Structures are given as structure tokens and as C-alpha cells.
Amino acid sequence: MIPLQLTLKNFLSYRDAILDFRGLHTACICGPNGAGKSSLLEAITWVIWGQSRAESEDDIIHAGAKDVRVDFIFQNNQQTHRIIRTRHRGQSSSLEFQIETAGGFRSLTEKGVRATQQLILYHLKLDYDTFINSAYLRQGRADEFMLRRPSERKQILADLLKLDQYETLAEQAKDLSRQFKGQAEQLEQSLQTIKQQLEQRDEILEQQTRLKTTLQQLQQAQEIDQKQLQQLQAVVHQRSTWQQQLTFVRQQEQNLSQDCDRLTQDIAATEAQQRQLATLLSQEEAIKSGYSQYINLQQQEEIFTAKFQAYQEAQQQKQQLQQQLTQQINELNLKIRDTQAQLAALRPQEQEIQDALSRSGEVSAALEQLHLARKRLVELDHLQLEVSPLLQRHTSLQTELDRAQARLSARLEELYSSEKQLNAQIAVTPELRQTVLQVGAEIGQLEKKRVYQQRVQEKGLERRHFQERLQENQRRYEKQLAELTQKMEMLQVQNAVCPLCDRPLDEAHSHHVIQKTATEHQGVQEQFWLVREQLTVCERELQVLRHEYAQLSQELSPYEKLLEQRGQLEARLEATDEVYDRLYELSEEKEQLERSLHAGAYAVDLQAQLQQIEVQLQQLNYSEQTHALARSEVDRWRWAEIKQAKLEDALKRRRQIEDKKPQLQAQLDALQGSLHELQTTSELKQQLDALEEHMAQIGYNLAEHNALRASVRQAQSWQLRYQEVVSAQQQYPQVCQRLQALMQTRQARRTEQEGITAQIESIVKQIEQYPDATPELQALELGMQQRRRQLDEHLSGQGRLQQQLTQLESLQTQYEEEHKQCQELQRQYRVHQELAIAFGKNGIQALMIENILPQLEAQANHILARLTGNQLHIQFVTQRAGRRASKKTTKLIDTLDILIADANGTRPYETYSGGEAFRINFSIRLALARLLAQRAGTSLQMLIVDEGFGTQDAEGCDRLIAAINAISSDFSCILTVTHMPQFKEAFQTRIEVRKSEQGSQLSLSI
């Protein structure tokens, strides 16, 4: 992927920016911290993969903006592509993917963002994780292999190569093998149970013959009782019918009696209402007279109301005019007081100006002293310009000497601390060995319990599946029992019909169908109770297994901690073998550092340069104290300039005051004249006088109006009584008609009640002809129920035996099928167990790392040879000799050691200088980047370097620049990111980033 153009709109700190990469080969992205350098790289990752450092996608939108858009054009595999990603705040993103043709860009966008993203990955052959681990060299990743322990380097390489997918496959294979093993063991237990059940067939056949004889005897006795029961039921049914009719007629009699009582109450209420209306109609003349008097009073009150409204309007107009007049008078008074205050303020200003002008001679003398002091200061400033570079160089050299001494002292302290730690590690080695043995014994005991716990779990799963099958059978039998019970109830009803052909059944056929249904019901019921017994036994077994599993889980709780503890202890023991060699090396280095610090034999060149600069400073004879005194002398006489400016300002202000005083006095006289005219002869004053005369002509009296209102309220009751009289004239004829109708209805109800009483006496005589046979019927039904229960029990037993025979036949077939299935499960268990080993760390993963390491070593040595002129060589070692198992054998340990060789032989990484170590780290990191790109199916054409240049000194920056220039021919575009001014000068092409009020801005310097 080669970038061509990046266009940003409202992305992070950018408002609108365009960066053209065409013609750029090696460029530096520079600018101060927070300017937006990293935002350019975030924009590339967001537009391609939709990922950035922001927690949510709305966070990438510029503050105050509603949407964001990034447009990225790049070249990949000799084709030019374009990606446009946009997002509105609070909404989903949109993605556009295009390819350049002769007629412009053509869209390749799929339906949906996810499908388009997959198409982009297909063309790039590079996902986000591979990009940030290959083309993007992030800070702190170059020396990752060197800083980790040898045992951890394989894991780092596996993470970069994404070998965790094989670990997932291994776990899946383990899970499947455990499942197949558990299922096979469950089938073996099930086969053993089936074999035991098949041995009970002969005993079941003998029980079935005995039950058949007993059932025939019980059924004959039941038929005799059934005939007697039908006769008694007919008698009881006829008596019940007459009793129901008697109850219905008595209810009718009670309803008629209640209607008569209600009609009597309604007649009494209607007669009272008739009397009340007659009394009101007798007072008609007096009420009409009072109502006429009320109408006259109401007309007089309306006249007074009209006068009151006119008076109120005139009063409001008067108040408005009075407010306007008062407001204008107040405004004129305010202007008069303001003008008088301005005239009074001019007098103290004139006095102040006169006092300032009286000190003009003193200020002139001070100005002459100021000019002399400034002349002396200019001479000292020129001398300082010559001395400053020397002082800066002197300070820099002294700082470097102090740093060199501090580094040596810090290294010496570090060696003392390391030596102390190594001695402490050697002292605790015997104790570590003993602890490892104890932890290993505890782990062995817990592993045995884990195996037993797994067996308990598998047995519990088998019992749970068996319980679910029993529950399903129980629900099926319950449904069959309900259907058979309903069928028997239908058949026992008189005139029953055939459930198949819907024709009436005679007595013989009815008996046959009932007996057949009862037999089927008994068989299903026996199967139902058998399933219930099996469910109870299964539940007890599950409770025992749950308790045992919980107890084992509690005992196995420290297992993981013990494994972790054993791993840590073994790692510490492995490291002890290297402690002795390391301790000897530290001792030699410590003695050398002590001699250098005591004799001062370090940084000899810097000490010589420092002495030469001190001689030059003595010859110039510059004193910072004299320079400071000259500055203070200038500051002491600088007040004269300020005083001179104040004198000139005072003269200007005096002229302005002399011009302003006559104007203010004329303005004051005009305002006082306007005020007198407003109070005497203005238009507002005339309007107020006219309104007062109009109010006097209206002649409104509030006391008379209130008295008239009281009279109207007292006479208002005549209006209500007049309305009552009118309503009574309409209601009186209706009430008389209703009273007559109620009396006729009551007489009809009483006649009907007498006929119902005679009908009740006739029904009572009919009931006395049928005796009560209920006790005899209940006794017969009780005996039949007892015999039916016996039949049900025997039928249930017969059905249970038949079901057991049928089940034994099914079990025989099931036994043969499960035997074949158990053999297949055992085969699958062995297959997946082998796959788990193959996908594990010691299988395919180890083989892939072994195959990749030679490529990584060759790539790293190729790059390192170009950086060092074939002076250094890297070798990866995957196995080394460990502790001797015996005198004749040596144990090999899996590791990932990195050996570095130069012209003097192989040495540890720590003994190389900073520049050499950096070149080694950079070579390994770049080789890893190329290897990851090749595995992704693409070529590494773009490189972004962000290795923390601020942590490097000047020499380290030079080494980094040399390394980048050495590999520049292998890439189409190299971008480096830094905020250091001295680093950016090493690149001819610079992309400078700065921050402004309009957001981050870009500028390209070539």
C-alpha cells in the first residue's frame, strides 16, 4: 500500500486539511506536542479499518462539528484505490470503496458497511492488527525481544503470528474428546442396565396369566350392579325433575309479591307529589306580582352600570396623561442635573492640570540622564552577544560531564544492587527445590480428584438425560389417560354412539367397547406409575451426584494456584544456573567503574573543551553584575519618559476643557426653559383640564348604585319561584295520569299471584307419589366404585406387565444399536485426542515457529549487515542444555535465545553500546514487520517509524537517521514522527503540523 492523498474534514483536531503524498519518499511529520501529528496516522487507520484510539466513533468528530469525513487515495498492486468513510454524530458510519479507471473512479461498494470492509481487506490482504505490527513501528516495540525473558519470546512471536487460533482448535479438540469419552462411558453403563432388565422376561409372563383370571371374575359382578344402578337412576331423575319445577314456580310467586310491594310505594310517592304541586299553583298571583317588581329594579341597575363604565374610562385617560406629564418633567430634571454635574467636574480637572505643568523643568533633567544610561547598556549588550555562545557551550559541557559521572555512579549502584540480589537468589536455591517437591506432590493428589470429579460429572449428565426421557414419557401417558377417561365417560351415557362410525350402540356392543377401553386405560396407567417410580429413583441419584460434585469442587479450588506456584518456582530454579556467570561479570565491571570514578578518567575530550572556553571568557572580561547594574540604571530613569507623556496629555486636556465649558452652560439654560413651559402651557396640561370637566358632567354616584344593587339581590328570589310555578302547570296533568296507571298494574299483579299459588299445590301432590331412592343409589355406587378401583388396579398391573414385555423387546433392539454407537464414540475419542496434541504448543505451533525463525534470522541479518557494514550477526537458538539429569545425560530446554556475534566473537546483548544495541533492535523489529506482511499475502511498501526520538541523545538521533536512510531503497514511502526541531532538519521533505484557532494546519516543506 502506497499513500497518494489524504483529505480530512472535522477529524479530531483538523477542520479541513489535504495532504498529498505524491513525490514523497522519505518524509518527517514534525510539530509540537498536541499539534495533531498522530491524528494523521489515526485518520489512515480509521478510514481503512474503522479503528482508532478513540473509545467511541463520535469522539473522533471535531468539537462543535456534526459529521466527519476522511478521503484516502492509495496505490496497491499497480492499481489506484479510493476509500471514503463518513459519520454523523449519533448515527452509523457509511463506507465507499472505489477503483480508478480511464474514465475516473468506479465504485466497488457492497451492500452494507461490513461487506464493503471485507472487500477492502480482500484487496489489501492486510488487517488492522497486522498493519500496526508491521508497517507501523510503534514506540517501545523495537527492543521487545531483547527485554523479555527467553522463555517469553516464543509467546511474543506466537502472538504476532496469530497462532492462538491453533490453541483454540486444540481446546475444541480436547472438549470434543472429553465429550466423546463421557458419552461412551454413559453408553457402557446404559448397556449394563439394559442387560439386567432383559433377564426378567419369564417372571413377567407368569404374573400376566394370574391377573387375567382375576379380571374376568370382577367384570361379571360389575355388569350385574350396572343394571340395578340404571333403574334407581331413572326414579331419582323423575323426582328431581318435579322438585326443580316446584322451585321455579315458587320463585315466580316471590317475584310477583315483590312487584306488588314496589307498586304500592310508587303510588304513595305519586300522591304526595300531586298534593305539593296543587299547593304551589294556589300562590300563582302573589308570585307574578313580585316577579314584575324584580324586572323594574334590574332595568334601573343597567342605567347606573352604563354611567359607571363611562366614568371609569375618563378616570383611566386622566391617569395616563398624568403619567406622561410626570415622565417628561423627570427626564428634563435628570438632564439638568447631569449638565450641572459635568460643569462641576471640570473645575478639579483644571486644578490638576495646572499642578502637573508646574514640574516640567524637573522632567527635562531626568530625560537627559536616561539617554546616557541607555548608551552604556547598548555597549554591554554587544559584549554579551559575544560571551553568550561561550557560556552556553560551557554550561552544556559541564552538564554532559555531570551526566557522564551520574551514569557511571548509577551503573555502579545498579551493579551493587544486582550483586546483592544474585547472592540472595543463590542463598534460597535449596529451599526452592524443597518447595517445588512439596507443591508437585499436592498437585498429584488434586489431579487424581479431578479425574474422579470428571467421572462424577459425566455420570450426572447421563442420569439427567435419562430423567428427561422419563419426564417426556410421563407427559405422554398423562395425555393418553385423559383421552381414555373422556372416552369412557362418553360411552357410559345412555344412548351412547360409536366413537368411530358415529352410530348408536346396543347393549352388547356398548359393553364390548367399554371393556376394551377400560383394558387400554389400565395398561396406560400401569406404565404411568412405572415411570413415576423410575423418576423418583433417578432424582435421588442426581442429588447424591450433585452433593459429591460440589464437595470435589471445593477440594479442587487451590489447584490452579498450585499450578501457577509450581511454574513460578521452576522458572526461578532455571534462572539460578545463570546467576553464577552473571555474578562474575558484575564483579569485574564494578571494579572497572570504581577505578574510573576515583581517577576522573572519563569524558577526557569534554574536560579539554571546558578548559579552553574558560580561558576565552577571562579574556573578554564580561561581568553579568555590571550588565545588571546598567539595566537597573535605565529602569531608574525611565519614569522621566512617562512624566513627559503626561505633560503633553495635560496641555491637550486643558484646551479641551476651555472649549467645552460655554457649550455646557448654554445647554443648561435651554433645559430649564423647556421645564417651565411643560408645567404651564403644554398640550398634555390642557388635555388633563378637559378630562376633569367631562367627569363632572357624567354625574355618577357610587352610594346610589350600591343601594340599587342590594335591592336587586333581595328581589331575585321571586324569579326562582316564578319558574317553579310555570313548571308545576306543566307537570300536574302528567302526575295524575301516572297515578291511575300504577293502581291498574298493581291489581293485575295480585290476580296473577293467586293463579301461581294454585299451581304450587298441584306440584307438591305429584312429588309425594315418587319415594326418595338416593340412599340406596349411593350405597350401590359406593360398592361399584370399590370394585372399579380393584379392576383399575388389576388392569394397571396387566398393562404394566404388557408394557414391560414391549419395553424389553425395544430394549433388545436398543442394546444392539447402542453397542455399535459406543464403538464409534471410542474411535472418535481417540481421533480428537490425537488432534488436541497436534494443535497444541508442542505440535503444529512449534513446527511453524521452527520454520519461521530461519526466515526471521535471514531477514534480520540482511538488514543488520546494511546498518553495520557486516560487523554484527544474529542467531536464534531454540534449545539449550539445562541441568544434568545424571552424569551421562543432559536435559534440553525449549527456549528462544538470541546470540549476537561480532569480529571478537559472541557476546551478551548487554555488553554492546547504545548505537549497536539500537541497530540490533531495529533490524529484528523491521524483519518481524516484513515477515508479518508476507504472511498476510502482501508486500511491505510503506513504513511508519515512531520510536520515541525524544528519549535519544544527539548521537542516538544520528544513528536512527542513518538506519532509516540505509533501508530507504526497500520502501516506496517512509514516514517518521517527531517533535524535536534538530531531528526534522535531517530530512529534506517535512510535513509540518501546527495548531491554530481553525484547528490543526499542514504545510509541506521540500
pLDDT of residue 45: 87
Position 314 pLDDT exceeds 80: no
The helix or strand, by DSSP H or E, that contains position 806, with its residue range, turns out to be helix 774-839
The helix or strand, by DSSP H or E, that contains position 896, with its residue range, turns out to be strand 892-902
Exposed, middle or buried, 473 (CB in 10 Å: 0-12/13-18/19+)? Answer: middle
Position 338 pLDDT exceeds 70: yes
pLDDT category at 885 given cuts 50, 70, 90 is very low
Listed range (43-47, 161-165, 436-440, 950-954) with the worst mean pLDDT: 950-954
Position 345 pLDDT exceeds 80: no
Q: Are 417 and 643 in contact (CB under 8 A)?
A: no
pLDDT of residue 7: 92
CATH fit for domain 2-126+942-1005, picks 3.40.920.10, 3.40.50.300, 3.20.20.140, 3.40.630.30: 3.40.50.300
Which position has the grid cell 306543566? 730
Residues facing 86 on adjacent strands: 69, 94
Alpha-carbon torsion angle 699, 700, 705, 708, nearest 10: 30
pLDDT above 70 covers a percentage of the chain that reads 87
pLDDT of residue 606: 75
pLDDT of residue 436: 77
Residue-wise pLDDT for 196-222, tens only, equals: 777 777 787 777 778 778 877 777 777
**Side chain identity at residue 845, one-letter code:** Q
Q: Are 664 and 343 in contact (CB under 8 A)?
A: yes
Residue-wise pLDDT for 59-109, tens only, equals: 888 888 888 999 999 888 788 999 999 998 888 889 999 998 888 888 888
Q: Are 637 and 370 in contact (CB under 8 A)?
A: yes
Residue-wise pLDDT for 608-651, tens only, equals: 777 788 777 777 777 777 777 777 777 777 777 777 777 777 77
User: 429-557 belongs to which CATH class?
Assistant: mainly alpha
pLDDT of residue 704: 76
More confident residue, 517 or 139: 517
- Cell of residue 365, nine digits: 533633567
Q: SS3 for 910?
A: helix
CB atoms within 10 A of CB 145: 23
Distance CA 628, CA 625 (A): 5
pLDDT of residue 884: 53
Residue-wise pLDDT for 649-672, tens only, equals: 777 777 777 777 777 777 777 877
pLDDT above 90 covers a percentage of the chain that reads 2
Residue-wise pLDDT for 223-252, tens only, equals: 777 777 777 777 777 777 777 777 877 787
Q: How far is CA 699 from CA 119, 296, 694, 705, 907, in A?
A: 98, 22, 9, 12, 127
Stated pTM of the model: 0.38
Mean pLDDT, all residues of the chain:
77
Listed range (256-260, 651-655, 657-661, 880-884) with the worst mean pLDDT: 880-884
pLDDT of residue 857: 80
Residues facing 28 on adjacent strands: 976, 990
Distance separating the N- and C-terminal Cα atoms of the chain: 23
Position 877 pLDDT exceeds 50: yes
Q: Are 265 and 739 in contact (CB under 8 A)?
A: no
